[in-house]
Amino acid sequence: MNERYFICVSGVVQGVGFRPFVYQLATQHHLSGWVMNSSEGVKIDVQGRKDALDLFVLALSERPPHLARVDEVTCTPQQLQPSRGFSIHPSQQAAKVAVRITPDQSVCPECLAEMKSPHSPYYHYPFINCTHCGPRYSIIEQLPYDRVNTTMKGFDFCPSCRQAYQDPSNRRYHAQPTSCHHCGPEMTLRDARGTLTTQPETVFVQAAEILSRGGVIAVKGVGGFHLVCDATSSASVMKLRHMKHRQRKPFAVMVDGVETATQYVTGEPAEWQALTASAAPIVLMHRRVHPDLVPEVACDSPYLGVMLPSTPLHHLLFEQYRCYRSEPILVMTSGNLSGMPLITDGDDMLHLFGEALDGVLDHNRPIANPCDDSIVHYAGSAMRVLRMARGYGPFSGHHDYQGAQIVAVGAQQKSTIAMACPGQLMLSPYIGDLDDPDTQQRHEKTISLFQHLYQCEPAHWVCDYHPGYVATRFAERQSGQLLQVQHHHAHILAVMAEYRLTGPVLGFAFDGTGMGDDDSVWGGEVLLADTQGYQRCGYLRPFRLIGGEQAIREPARILLAMLLACYSLQEIQSLELPAFQQWDDRDFSNLHQLWLSGRHSPWCSSVGRLFDAWACLGGLLERPDFDGESGLKVEAAAMKSGQTETLWEMHWMGEAAILDWAPLLTQCITARIWRNDAVVSAACIGLIEALAGAIQQMARRYPALPVIVSGGVFQNRLLMDVLWQNWDQTKQPLYSGTMIPTNDSGIAMGQLWYGMHQC
């Protein structure tokens, strides 16, 4: 008995070889009809024997192509028509957009083998790709995902590539970036004086030679430029630090394979799996002591960010660099100045860095949508995304939401944007900190891109409470209803969105800063939360930020404020703490007066600032060079601690449940930790264990509620490990972000989850 179905498949189903998969599946089951791309998804009109049709529909969901993600398959019976074989129809633009944008993917093993084979027409071709790999998000300008709607539209096919592109049995069938030496993008190598090299083989030879003699070059990848130098050369790495104005923040490195990586890092099986996955992220792994890796790369961090070559051109660069080092390791960091957006244009690189740059390895395939490297690590028994970008972003998910379109604009730091349309929700790749005008412009362009791609005219805009946030001011200028979400509530909501929770939950939001309901600086909050609102049921004991923002730049001010809550000024001065050694009596007096008056010294309940004070007291840090450095320093010191019998605890005081840090601080003062490295380490692991213990104490008060931990403090791997090791998931579930970052990059998703439940 024959039947006919009209099928619509939604999800990540374009740019992943879905149509040739459908074509081959239909041919295998002797079915007739057609398949085509639409902005609604993949549409299929198919008929044949009932049993064959059932197997066909089942395979769509259960055996899709590797990069595909099928969210929904709808089948509508149709009247039979004359059988005419099976074909692939041209794409169609529909009024409704239900397809997801595919993230960029690293080069697949099949393409890599072809690139290395002298007998292949793609031998040493730096832009080889197929439906299993290559650029997606970075080149798309419009949906559906067809070549004419990408930055490849300016490259006409040669006869051979056109044949591959039109052959349903070829894995390059409708792989939009398909090209070869004869018809595709071209590489160039330039120096600061404008000297140009265009020979395909020569550019990589010369680039490797520049690196071998200590040079710094810019290399254009899929989503933007990297700044690159040899990780075994102190002079090269210090030159790069000077160029980027980056004193101590660790650099990531790229190595040519897993075997080389094992010389520099150790890791869990899940970390090695992430390293070799098609997303090709930076994986933060435990650093080995290696004589060749210079200390200036990761400074004193216990971790090293490692990634493998993600594009064919990176493989070709390493192939040439092996002439100089048998186990090459290159610093590979974002092509920008710290705090500025990723650069995508070679001329801009030369303009910004000038003669400090020894070469620009460039190509002429335009980047429509910049995308940085993703960063992941293993913490709390799971791989967790710290920066969602190339390979992971845009994140999209199927949802039964059928309300009006919503855009959430995110936070000030580590910004992203999120959007909800009927049936789906999305989170953009990492954009950056909105303190810089160029990043502000990129933030607005990302919003425009998602609106354009998904034909979105939002009825609702969601933002943070903070009136000074650039994203908040942007949302206030838009038409449509404005919804505002408190920063720490959004942190909790982001995790709820990932796990599809609506509440109530017990949420711990620990981060650096966020404006609270009482206009003080929050950051150590315990919230009874759901998608409608929250109640603050606990918080870190407040202390003053002497001088406001200046205290964040000078943690000794935070330490002084906390000590003044426990000791007199004279007692503090008599301690002769190293943190205050640059201060004279006048400094102490002025800062004391600011603390007493409260002028320019707001109250703060931030766990992130607590870590600042701890690092300062232990002599680990004088002035932070990057966000989260204090936490990393405390974590590194804690990892050196041996077994100790000292009990370090914090307890919740009174009905307000205020987490009191004062006994822990006075314990450190009594132990005079600044004079003994072993005590510093013990105090650092003590702080981490005390925080984990405090979370458990509070959770026991609400045994019926699932627990969520979110906020930048929970990027601390040791804190997460201690918390998870001592937690009984069978009695009370514990959640934290895995795909959605727990830092401020997840705020937009939390805002979106709130908005979706108000509309």
Q: Which residues are catalytic?
A: 19, 37
Q: Judge residue 625's burial from the number of C-beta atoms within 10 Å of its C-beta, 0-12 exposed, 13-18 middle, 19 or more buried.
A: middle
Return the bridge partners of 8, or none: 43, 74
Q: Which of 229, 298, 305 is nearest to 261 (CA)?
A: 305
Quick check: bond before 437 cis, omega within 30? no
Beta strands, E only, 288-340: 303-307, 329-334
Return the bridge partners of 659, or none: 540, 652
Q: How far is CA 539 from CA 116, 126, 528, 742, in A?
A: 58, 54, 12, 19
In three-state secondary structure terms, 712 is helix
Pairing mode of beta strands 505-515, 707-710: parallel
Beta strands, E only, 13-127: 32-38, 41-49, 69-78, 86-88
Token output for 354: 């000038």
Return the bridge partners of 284, or none: 305, 377
In whole angstroms, give the CA distance from residue 212 to residue 204: 12
Token output for 205: 């030879």
Q: Which of 653, 742, 736, 641 is nearest to 689 (CA)?
A: 641
120 DSSP assignment: S
Token output for 75: 């089948």
Are residues 70 and 61 in contact, defined by beta-carbon separation less than 8 angstroms?
yes
Are residues 404 and 460 in contact, defined by beta-carbon separation less than 8 angstroms?
yes
In whole angstroms, give the CA distance from residue 143 to residue 198: 33
Helix and strand counts by DSSP (H, E) for the chain:
23, 32
In three-state secondary structure terms, 61 is helix
Radius of gyration over every alpha carbon of the chain, rounded to an integer in angstroms: 28
Token output for 192: 């600061």
Beta strands, E only, 221-278: 225-230, 252-255, 265-266
Q: Which of 499, 491, 493 is nearest to 606 (CA)?
A: 491
Q: Which residue has the tokens 């630090």?
A: 241
Residue type, 375: I
226-241 burial, b at 16+ Cβ within 10 Å, e below that, comes to: bbbbbbbbeebbebbb
Token output for 644: 């100790």
Are residues 554 and 530 in contact, defined by beta-carbon separation less than 8 angstroms?
no
